[in-house]
Amino acid sequence: MIIVYHQNNKIVKVGAKTKNVFSENKSIAENLIEIAERFPQDLIIWCHISLESNLNVEKIDEIFHQEKIMASYNLSPNSFISDTIGYVDSSPFLKINKEVSYPTWRMSSNVGGIHASILLLLKNQIKVDADFDYFLNSIARLGISKGLLCYSVPKLLKDCSQIFPKYKENKSLLFRFVKQHYKTRWIFLLFLDLFLYKRTLAVFPFLMSFFYKKRGLKIDTFHEIETESKNKVIEEGTLDVIIPTIGRKKYLYDTLIDLSLQTFLPANIVIVEQNPVQDSITELDYILSEDWPFQIKHIFTQQTGACNARNLALKEVKSEWVFMADDDIRIEADFLEETFQVIKKEGIEQITLGCYQPDYPLDKKIKQKFQWGSFGSGCSIVKANNIKTLSYNLSFEFGYGEDSDFGMQLRNLGHDILYSPKPEILHLKAPIGGFRTKHILAWADEKIQPKPSPTVMLNKILNLTKEQIEGYRTILFFKYYKVQKIRNPLRYYSSYKKQWSKSQYWANKLNVEK
């Protein structure tokens, strides 16, 4: 491990074995690249000189448990890339919970670290910026979608009470960052949103951004780094499977058969069967009539809804791990064994697997592991202890957003979610059962129908920043115009404002009621 101390965008102190590499005439980023070239097997830590005695050296190995991790912690009240980036970026990585380890590309020069091997892979792909904060944010923003695991980690410091000065708002820097790290169309939307919501006409920053070239990484940039986490995340190695089901007797049977043939057998299967028909009884006779190599806990309820069903099932989990599955999936015999190999190798405690319908185009499938911005309630394996205090928000019942919200609950407790393309789940998207009836939503009779759906709005209110919600409002305005009947732009704008307000009303009502 090599520790580099800096001040005023220059290195002022380094470890003993790097003293001959350190140059006062070079930027921090240039020095880090040269240190990485000299010591390619080392972890490189950066730290502001005022935090030297506060650096939590004892926790470094725990934080950087594998080579593909980049972590930092920001002691300033705001971020180097301002919150107005929310007009461009809709990911859950912006609204950082600074009390826990939280996935984010918003890096800080205050304190952090990255492995030398990562810097060497990037040195010919990313310009070595003079501004260290810009360099770090550029690496993380480009790397997070290619398999680099990026975090805000308070454990880097023994005490996080010290406050650094606020970063100055810099619109030129913001437009430059957007131009270099997002599609060009986003600088136009950023310009529009700044005018609409901030009453700012950023003409000069907008025009200057066109002088900067877009940055990008090769899709296989990090593939050559063999991951072998030092984290021991598997202890007992036991697994329960939870499956909500409604009217899919045959498909559920096939799913149970696949689970019974696994080379790594589950200990328990929890099935929550829903049937709203009065005086109805179970149709899943094969649960008792056939022998299964695992225990099956069968819950029958006449209350429909996937959120409620999953909450009932989660209360019955007894094993160390839980596979959250759907009732119409097919998996290979080595699916669970292979998944736990990935979990062990990555040192991660939440994983969402590739899940596709039979006719999904091969060339459109995601082919690499990376930090997932959502959560798959029917295709994820998680550590049971991490979700024992969580539940699906019933405000989302019969709507959209419960998966994303559950994922945000996990992140806000300090638990990251990794997406892995392999092993893969085949999702049949089976037809619904004959007795399933369409749920009548509370706002169905409203003269002005809410737009977006109130459950979508609720998810955004609960989990995104103010700027992200405003940015979504602008995008939806343009997208919805193409499919609605009002052609007059002024009349459409007036109608859209009313629909947006109605959606906010119902979202807040759902939130209070549940």
Give the per-residue SS3 of 191-205. Answer: HHHHHHHHCCCCHHH
DSSP class of 113: E
Q: Inform me whether the pLDDT recorded for 93 exceeds 50.
A: yes
What is the rounded CA–CA span in Å between residue 462 and residue 182?
25
Q: Inform me whether the pLDDT recorded for 439 exceeds 90.
A: no
Query: According to DSSP H, which parts of 44-115 are helical?
Result: 60-63
Q: Average pLDDT, stretch 138-142? A: 98
Q: How far lies 313's CA from each of 18, 280, 281, 413, in Å?
A: 55, 20, 19, 21
Q: Average pLDDT, stretch 396-412? A: 95
Looking at residue 95, its pLDDT comes to 97
**Distance from CA of residue 31 to its chain's centroid?**
32
Q: Is the peptide bond before 361 cis (omega within 30 degrees of 0)?
A: no
Structure tokens at 28: 């921090």
What is the rounded CA–CA span in Å between residue 32 and residue 46?
9
Q: Average pLDDT, stretch 52-68? A: 97
The mean of the pLDDT values for the chain is 95
Structure tokens at 339: 């998944």
142 CB neighbour count, 10 Å cutoff: 20
- CATH code for the part of the protein at 2-169: 3.90.550
SS3 content of the chain, % helix, strand, coil (to 5): 40, 15, 45
Which tops the pLDDT comparison, 85 or 433? Answer: 85
Q: Which own/partner contact pairs does 254-258 have at CB distance under 8 Å and 24+ positions apart?
A: 254/330, 255/325, 255/326, 255/327, 255/328, 255/329, 255/330, 256/286, 256/292, 256/296, 258/329, 258/330, 258/331, 258/332, 258/333, 258/335
The CATH superfamily of 239-427 is Spore Coat Polysaccharide Biosynthesis Protein SpsA; Chain A (3.90.550.10)
Q: Inform me whether the pLDDT recorded for 425 exceeds 80.
A: yes
Looking at residue 434, its pLDDT comes to 45
Cα dihedral across residues 271, 422, 61, 64: positive or negative? negative
| Residues 237-259 pLDDT 10s | 999 999 999 999 999 999 999 99
Amino acid at 381: I
Looking at residue 218, its pLDDT comes to 92
The yes-or-no answer to whether 2-169 and 239-427 have a common fold is yes
Which residues is 381 bridged to in the sheet? Answer: 323, 351
Helix, strand or coil, per DSSP, at residue 87: helix
Cα dihedral across residues 210, 213, 219, 221: positive or negative? negative
Cα dihedral across residues 48, 51, 53, 59: positive or negative? negative
Contact 245, 274 (CB under 8 A): yes
Q: How far lies 42's CA from each of 1, 115, 266, in Å?
A: 5, 6, 40
What's the pLDDT band for 435 if we cut at 50, 70, 90? very low
Looking at residue 15, its pLDDT comes to 76
Q: Which own/partner contact pairs does 284-292 have at CB distance under 8 Å and 24+ positions apart?
A: 284/245, 284/249, 284/252, 286/253, 286/256, 292/256, 292/260
Looking at residue 19, its pLDDT comes to 63
Helix, strand or coil, per DSSP, at residue 157: strand
C-alpha angle 133/138/142, rounded to 5°?
155
For the chain, percent of residues with pLDDT exceeding 70: 97
Task: Name the packing angle between helices 454-463 and 402-411 (round to 10°).
Answer: 10
Looking at residue 226, its pLDDT comes to 86
Lowest mean pLDDT among 16-20, 46-50, 417-421: 16-20
- In this prediction the pTM is 0.94
Tokens 């405000």 belong to residue: 395
Contact 498, 379 (CB under 8 A): no
Contact 4, 11 (CB under 8 A): yes
Residue 28's H or E segment, with its range, is helix 28-38
Each domain of the chain, given as residue ranges in start order, spans 2-169, 239-427, 454-513
Q: Is the peptide bond before 452 cis (omega within 30 degrees of 0)?
A: yes
E strands, 162-236, where?
Answer: none
| Residues 193-211 pLDDT 10s | 999 999 999 999 999 999 9
What's the pLDDT band for 17 if we cut at 50, 70, 90? low
